[in-house]
Amino acid sequence: MIGTSQAEVGAPGLTQLLVAGIGEMVLSRDPRSILVAYGLGSCVALSAWDPISGAGALAHFMLPGGPVAGSVGGPPVKTIEGGLGIFLDAFVRQGGQLRRAQFKAAGGAAMLALLSGGLEIGRRNGEALISGLESRGLRLLARDLGGGAGRTVQLEVGTGRLLVKSVSTVATL
């Protein structure tokens, strides 16, 4: 799929690490897979996991809105406005069902409050994500949004556990 990063599994039983860069998404049904988004500042990561099919997905959104996501070879989930539907469609194609999926989100920090001139990208990203899900009749099961610290997230496809790491804390959603 365009915009997904994938790593090869070296041998049976080894963990498969799939990394979602900025504006990218990664998907897997392999219970050994760990889906990762590194260095979330004002960006927001959204995980989706279906406990029945075992499908897991992780998106690394950069902005609340803007030009159509994926246009002219651009990142498919750069913006929440244009990329959320692309992400959800990819999750369904992977075997996930939206009505039974567990959605979790992290990120949206106010990392550059003084430099951004009051743009509040992190806060706006969190609001856009929640609004985008709600408009589709979906909701977050858990969230770690806002604050002032960057995060890295890891979705364990085998369990649906989302590990959220920051400089000062580690939380499981």
Element (H, E) at 126: helix 121-134
pLDDT at 167: 75
pLDDT at 2: 35
Is 86 marked active-site?
no
Catalytic residue among 43, 59, 128, 133: 43
Structure tokens given for 57: 């997905």
CATH architecture for the domain at 16-172: 2-Layer Sandwich (3.30)
CA angle, 69 then 138 then 3, to 5°: 25
pLDDT at 4: 43
Q: Are 52 and 117 within 8 A, CB to CB?
A: no
pLDDT at 131: 97
Query: Which whole-number Å values give the CA distances from 82 to 1, 11, 90, 102, 117, in the listed order?
Result: 17, 37, 14, 21, 25
- What does the pLDDT profile of the chain (173 residues) look like in tens digits? 334 444 444 456 668 999 999 999 999 999 999 999 999 999 999 999 999 999 999 999 999 997 654 555 678 999 999 999 999 999 999 999 999 999 999 999 987 655 545 678 999 999 999 999 999 999 999 999 999 899 999 999 999 999 999 877 777 77
pLDDT at 85: 97
